[in-house]
Amino acid sequence: MAQVKKGDTIQVHYKGTLTENGMLFDSSEGRPPLEFTVGEGMVIYGFDNGVLDMSVGETKILVIPHLEAYGPLNEQMFFEFDKAQLPAEMGEPAAGMELHMMDQEGNELPVMITEVKESTIVLDGNHPLAGKDLTFEVELVSIV
């Protein structure tokens, strides 16, 4: 039976949870399987590496440390932003709200409000899963 190797394009169904508490953060349930080419960096390293040698129909649990997922939490990605510069239609800022900012090249960057102060808000530009160990239940649907 064929096994997954680097360079194969594969389709998988998956369920992603936080290793720490089992909270579901993503799943392909109800959607077509995820298709990607193994070894080309289209998915996080631990996922890419974890599907190697799987056979069609096989299910595998991948426990991925944060360094093989979205990396550590980077303290330099926290910054203060003047509340007066927020669009009026946004309403009152609150911790946990997600905003979208633009960098100098025009790329959209999602940021999370982590704290609201008197005249500023503290924003976190880290990926929401940075610093978190992840667990994926993966089923290999096909090797294309």
In the DSSP assignment, the letter for residue 83 is G
Average pLDDT score over residue span 49-73: 97
Report the side by side order of strands in the sheet with 78-82.
78-82, 120-124, 108-116, 98-102
By residue count, the chain amounts to 144
Q: Tens digits of per-residue pLDDT, 74-122?
A: 999 999 999 999 988 888 999 999 999 888 898 888 999 999 999 999 9
Domains along the chain? 9-71+129-143 (3.10.50.40), 75-124 (2.40.10.330)
Distance CA 60, CA 115 (A): 39
What pLDDT does 102 receive?
Answer: 85
What pLDDT does 44 receive?
Answer: 97
Q: Which residues of 18-38 are buried (b: 16+ CB within 10 A; e: fewer)?
A: ebeeeeeeeebeeeeebebeb
Average pLDDT score over residue span 111-139: 96
